[in-house]
């Protein structure tokens, strides 16, 4: 496994490792049998090849899985890993059908980031320049997760002329407007900082957790493409907050908010189906979040005589199919994880829903 000491020695992290790890081990603990180079190499191997895991008590940790680390990276990967917290064994599985002899890819960055930030993160933390099919496409495979709305015309989308060059000019697809890549990077940094700040407000904050994220969307939705990575990240959080926080519990949500949650989930799925296709955790969770507001809306319409018995049965059958797929995906996760626990709840809900459908 690579440590990339020659590249890392010029970084800020190298100095941090020297003070916090190298000097601590060699001076404080007197482990002088390990040279500075050996300790730096161990740090590099961990920083570049480790995977994030959660302990049984919920803390974040790093684990090294040498076989899993052999996989090449792609920003549209075809595998996912899960870690069992009782013994920290790792389970690697494919999320889509891979032909015999086909290559397995993992992702070593956050899939929901736009190309500029993904490539920057990979270069800084993993020390390679990604040129995968997604990074090479200015439209991010048609999702437009990096695209901006043009401020000079009504229908234009501003995209990079060369998404593999961070300094490339960005240009509107419908008019002559253009702007340097450095200006786009500044905009991205500002919005990403706002999202990071919003993410620090957790479910325990109640309604504020929803309001602060909605405010970020409201502030920047006129700048970003509807499927932009930043809006996608916020929608993913909001889809799991609506129905779970004080003042926004599922039973209390009016139809207009239920419809808002449905719209967010459907927009999410449009993006997830491209960048994390197949049986991914994100897809499983989003399908689970989609089923409840659809079911509540169907019952509301039936009660108001907007739809008849046949109509509500059709809508409930659609919900059952969504819930079935969510259960199938989430059941692949270790039972002690949040996703594994939700799969058990989803399975019971599916049984009850199927009984309700039969009774109609």
List the structure tokens of 257: 């908010």
List the structure tokens of 179: 């702007």
pLDDT of residue 352: 97
Q: Give the residue ranges of DSSP H helices in 126-164.
A: 133-136
Q: Which residues are registered as beta bridge partners of 179?
A: 170
pLDDT tens for the chain, 360 residues: list them.
889 999 999 999 999 999 999 999 999 999 999 999 999 999 999 999 998 898 878 788 999 999 999 999 999 999 999 999 889 999 999 999 999 999 999 999 999 999 999 999 999 999 999 999 999 999 999 999 999 999 999 889 999 999 999 999 999 999 999 999 999 999 999 999 999 999 999 999 999 999 999 999 999 999 999 999 999 999 999 999 999 999 999 999 999 999 999 999 999 999 999 999 999 999 999 999 999 999 999 999 999 999 999 999 999 999 999 999 999 999 999 998 899 999 999 999 999 999 999 998
Q: What is the pLDDT of residues 167-184, one digit of tens each?
A: 999 999 999 999 999 999
Between CA 304 and CA 165 the distance in angstroms is 56
pLDDT of residue 86: 86
SS3 129: coil
pLDDT of residue 106: 96
pLDDT of residue 306: 95
Report the C-alpha dihedral over residues 44, 45, 49, 50, rounded to 10 degrees.
-90
Q: Based on C-alpha coordinates, what's the Rg of the chain?
A: 23
SS3 55: coil
Q: Which residues are registered as beta bridge partners of 343?
A: none
Q: Give the residue ranges of DSSP H helices in the chain.
A: 5-8, 12-17, 23, 36-49, 115-125, 133-136, 181-199, 207-220, 229-241, 255-275, 281-303, 309-330, 338-359
The H-or-E segment that residue 60 falls in is strand 60-63
Cα–Cα nearest to 140, from 58, 82, 80, 224: 224
Is 234 within 8 Å of 198 (Cβ atoms)?
yes
Provide the residue ranges of all domains of the chain, joining segments of one domain with +: 1-49, 54-108
Indicate the pairing of strand 170-172 with strand 157-160.
antiparallel
Asked whether the CA dihedral 216, 217, 220, 224 is positive or negative, the reply is positive
Is 271 within 8 Å of 113 (Cβ atoms)?
no
Place of tokens 């959080």: 237
List the structure tokens of 275: 């960048």
pLDDT of residue 249: 94
Cα-flanking dihedrals φ and ψ of residue 53, to 5°?
A: -135, 165
Report the C-alpha dihedral over residues 204, 210, 212, 214, rounded to 10 degrees.
170
Q: Which residues are registered as beta bridge partners of 170?
A: 160, 179
The H-or-E segment that residue 179 falls in is strand 178-179
Between CA 178 and CA 223 the distance in angstroms is 15
Quick check: pTM over 0.85?
yes
Between CA 79 and CA 278 the distance in angstroms is 10
């Amino acid at each position: 496994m690579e440590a990339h000491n020659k590249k890392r020695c010029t970084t800020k992290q190298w100095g941090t490792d020297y003070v916090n790890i190298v000097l601590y081990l060699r001076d404080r603990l007197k482990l002088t049998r390990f040279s500075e180079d050996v300790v730096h190499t161990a740090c590099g191997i961990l920083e570049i090849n480790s995977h994030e895991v959660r302990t049984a008590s919920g803390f974040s940790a790093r684990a090294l899985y040498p076989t899993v680390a052999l996989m090449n990276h792609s920003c549209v990967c075809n595998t996912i890993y899960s870690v069992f917290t009782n013994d920290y064994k790792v389970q690697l599985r494919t999320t889509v059908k891979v032909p015999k002899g086909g290559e397995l890819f993992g992702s070593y960055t956050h899939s929901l980031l736009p190309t500029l930030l993904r490539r920057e993160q990979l270069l800084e933390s993993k020390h390679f320049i990604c040129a995968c099919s997604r990074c090479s496409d200015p439209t991010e495979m048609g999702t437009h997760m990096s695209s901006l709305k043009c401020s000079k015309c009504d229908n234009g989308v501003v995209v990079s002329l060369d998404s593999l060059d961070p300094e490339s000019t960005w240009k509107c697809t419908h008019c002559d407007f253009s702007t340097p890549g450095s200006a786009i990077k500044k905009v991205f940094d500002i919005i990403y900082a706002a999202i990071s700040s919003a993410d620090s407000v957790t479910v325990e904050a109640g309604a504020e957790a929803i309001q602060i994220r909605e405010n970020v969307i409201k502030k920047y939705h006129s700048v970003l493409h509807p499927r932009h990575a930043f809006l996608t990240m916020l929608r993913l959080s909001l889809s799991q907050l609506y129905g779970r926080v004080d003042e926004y519990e599922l039973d209390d949500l009016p139809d207009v908010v239920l419809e808002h949650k449905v719209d967010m989930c459907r927009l999410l799925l449009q993006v997830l189906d491209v960048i994390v296709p197949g049986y991914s955790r994100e897809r499983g969770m989003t399908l689970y979040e989609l089923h409840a507001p659809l079911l509540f809306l169907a019952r509301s319409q039936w009660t108001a005589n907007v739809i008849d018995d046949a109509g509500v049965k059709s809508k409930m059958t659609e919900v059952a199919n969504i819930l079935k797929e969510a259960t199938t995906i989430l059941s692949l996760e270790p039972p002690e994880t949040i996703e594994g626990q939700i799969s058990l709840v989803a399975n019971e809900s599916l049984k009850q829903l199927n009984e309700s459908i039969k009774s109609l």
